[in-house]
Each structure stands twice: as C-alpha cells, then as structure tokens.
Amino acid sequence: TVLAVMADGHAVRTIEGMARPGGLDPVQQAFIDCHGLQCGFCTPAMLLTARWLLDTTPDPTDEEIRTAIAGITCRCTGYANIVRAIQKAAEEDAA
Ligand code: FES
C-alpha cells in the first residue's frame, strides 16, 4: 500500500493490465493450474505481487515468496497453493 502521491511519476500496473498479448501472464495461468485462489478477494494483490517478485527475483525461495506475500491477507487458501502457483510461474518464466 502506498499513498497516491508516492506513485507520482511512476508507472502503475493494475490487474486489468496484467495479461499479455495473446494470453494470460504465466502467473495468472499458474494460479488457475494450482488452485491458488478461492473467493478471489486477495487474488489481484497476490498476482501483482507475484509478478513483481518474479521480475525482481526470478528463482525465489519459499521464504522469499512467503515474505513477498506477507502483507496480503488471504482468508481462504492457507497460502500453500499460492506459494505453489508462484513456484510454477517461476518455472514457466525460466522455460
Ligand atoms: Fe479468498 Fe484469498 S482467495 S481471500
């Protein structure tokens, strides 16, 4: 979470702009494949955070994944499938 004024002059990515031409971002597909969501309330934040993590840390450890998503509360999944989805997306990015 940032104040809007802190984003002045920076690019802002939203979930609506995440898909790539011709298909989903690998993070989006991995969340589908690994059942990384249930109600979907936390999912936009999870997806955007996962994409940021993989863009800055292409081969994250479990601890790095859990640290990256620590500020996002998911009341549904227990996080295991979310971590698994991010690991799968990392593998897809590397392929
Ligand atoms: Fe429901 Fe995360 S999927 S809060």
Specify the ligand 1 atom closest to the Cα of 38: 3
Instruction: Give the pLDDT score at 2.
Output: 81
CB atoms within 10 A of CB 11: 6
- The rounded distance, in Å, linking the Cα atoms of 46 and 35 is 13
pTM of the model: 0.90
Residue 35 — φ and ψ, nearest 5°? 55, 50
DSSP E strand boundaries for the chain: none
Residue with CA nearest ligand 1 atom 4? 74
CA angle (14, 20, 23) in 5-degree steps: 120
Q: Radius of gyration (Cα) for the chain, nearest Å?
A: 13
Q: Are 55 and 26 in contact (CB under 8 A)?
A: no
Q: For ligand 1, is residue 89 a contact (CB within 6 Å)? A: no
pLDDT tens-digit series, residues 41-86: 999 999 999 999 999 999 999 999 999 999 999 999 899 999 999 9
CB-ligand 1 contact for 40 (6 Å cutoff): yes
